[in-house]
Amino acid sequence: MTTKALNPFTDIAPEVQKALDAGRPVVALESTIITHGMPYPDNSRMAADVEAIIIEEGAVPATIAIVDGRLKIGLSAEEREALAQVKGAMKLSRADLAFALAEGRTGGTTVAATMLAAHLAGIRVFATGGIGGVHKGAEQSFDISADLEELGRTPVIVVSAGAKAILDIEKTLEVLETKGVPVVVHGSDTLPAFWSRQSPIKAPLRLDTAKAIAEFQAAREAIGVVGGMLIANPIPEASEIPAGIMSGYISEAIARAKKNGVTGKAVTPYLLSEILDITKGTSLKANIALVENNARLAAKIAVALSTLK
């Protein structure tokens, strides 16, 4: 089923390899959102829909995951469905990605691990929902996502809907700035807040088209700036939930996490699932809509990048 071995652990799906060889646009997709971010069967439907959207826009989707110790760059429909249903998958970041390979484990890749793997395969654009960042209370817990470190070092464009308000957004932006990561808001002067289109925070940078984003990336490469770029793409209007409504739910989820002593890698998945529970699924609908919206923009950026050279 797979072609050219990149290293002894990696399988690149044939259609992905063909596109990469021909310089055609490819968009990477993460899988922690499948294994830890949404319940079954919504996760399965979302994972299939985003791939279809990327194809519709003229690019090739590559969902990245670890299956039985293989680093998969592109999953077949069967593999994707199996991952959506698997129990006990690991949540893998830079620190433990290779552990899962060495030990023959199965896991979802976070934004950090997906960027790393995408870059390894030569994929330049990646679509997700939200990135990890600086958690509220990080001055005590030191809980800062490895996603930020990866954005600082790995040259992949990550299309998100901003960062969830489960995080300290201001501190997240400060860390990104320190690490030299441009934060570009697509078509708006304020940073989107995941479920809502607007936030009180000013957009660090603004660009209105996929072509402009591709040209910015080309300029970074031309002067040898290495590292990722974060695109914040506002959720479609029809699907947004006002920030004021979400903030009460978020505080409740954080209170539950504290009360139950949730720490470390478990924090983000726990908060996401509690918010889902508290909002009785309305946040899930918004979440799916924004991921699909991001997949569309990511595909357009990948297409624009491929026509630049």
Question: Least CB distance from residue 212 to ligand PSU, whole Å?
Answer: 26
**Residue 170 CA from chain centroid, whole number:** 19
Q: Tell whether residue 11 is among the known ligand binding residues.
A: no
User: For residues 172 and 134, what is the distance between their CA atoms, to the nearest angstrom?
Assistant: 5
Task: Check residue 96 for interaction with Mn ion (CB under 5 A).
Answer: no
**Which residues are 158's β-sheet partners?**
126, 230
Min separation Cβ 87 and ligand PSU, Å: 18
- The strand pairing partners of 162, in sequence order, are none
Task: Report the partner that residue 30 touches, choosing among ligand PSU, Mn ion, none (CB closer than 5 to 8 A by kind).
Answer: ligand PSU
The interface partner of residue 154, options being Mn ion, ligand PSU, none and the CB cut-off 5 to 8 Å by kind, is none
Q: What is the CA radius of gyration of the chain?
A: 18
4 is catalytic: no
Whichever of 160 and 217 has its CB closer to ligand PSU, that residue is 160
113 is in an annotated binding site: no
The DSSP element (H or E) to which 44 belongs, if any, is helix 42-56
- Confirm if 68 and 103 have CB atoms less than 8 A apart: no
CA dihedral 144, 150, 151, 156 (to 10 degrees): -150
Which residue ranges make up the site for ligand PSU (CB under 6 A)? 30, 32-33, 37, 110-111, 129-132, 145-147, 164, 265, 268, 272
Backbone angles phi, psi at 15, to 5 degrees: -70, -30
Q: What is the closest distance, in whole angstroms, from the C-beta atom of residue 20 to Mn ion in the complex?
A: 32
Query: CB-based contacts of 114: which residues, under 8 Å, 6+ apart?
Result: 28, 29, 30, 31, 64, 126, 128
Nearer to ligand PSU, 217 or 287 (CB): 287
Of 44 and 93, which CB lies nearer to Mn ion in the complex structure?
93
Task: Pick between residue 55 and residue 138 the one whose CB is nearest to ligand PSU.
Answer: 138
Cα distances from 47 to residues 23, 82, 215, 231, 276, in angstroms, run 24, 12, 29, 20, 18
Asked whether residue 111 is marked as a ligand-binding residue, the answer is yes
- Whether 30 is catalytic: yes
Q: With respect to ligand PSU, which residue has the nearer C-beta, 129 or 234?
A: 129
Residues in a beta bridge with 114: none
CB of 21 to ligand PSU, least distance (A): 28
Which of these, 80, 93, 130, 54, lies nearest to 266 by C-alpha position?
A: 93
Q: Which of 51, 150, 164, 300 is catalytic?
A: 164
Q: How do 107-109 and 60-67 pair as beta strands?
A: antiparallel
Least separation, in Å, of the C-beta of 142 and Mn ion? 9
Whose CB is nearest to Mn ion? 143
Binding mask 106-145 for Mn ion (x = CB under 5 A): -------------------------------------x--
Three-state DSSP state, 206:
strand
Per the annotation, binding residues for Mn(2+) are 143
Binding site for Mn ion (CB under 5 A): 143
Which of the residues are catalytic?
Answer: 30, 164
Per the annotation, binding residues are 91, 111, 143, 145-147
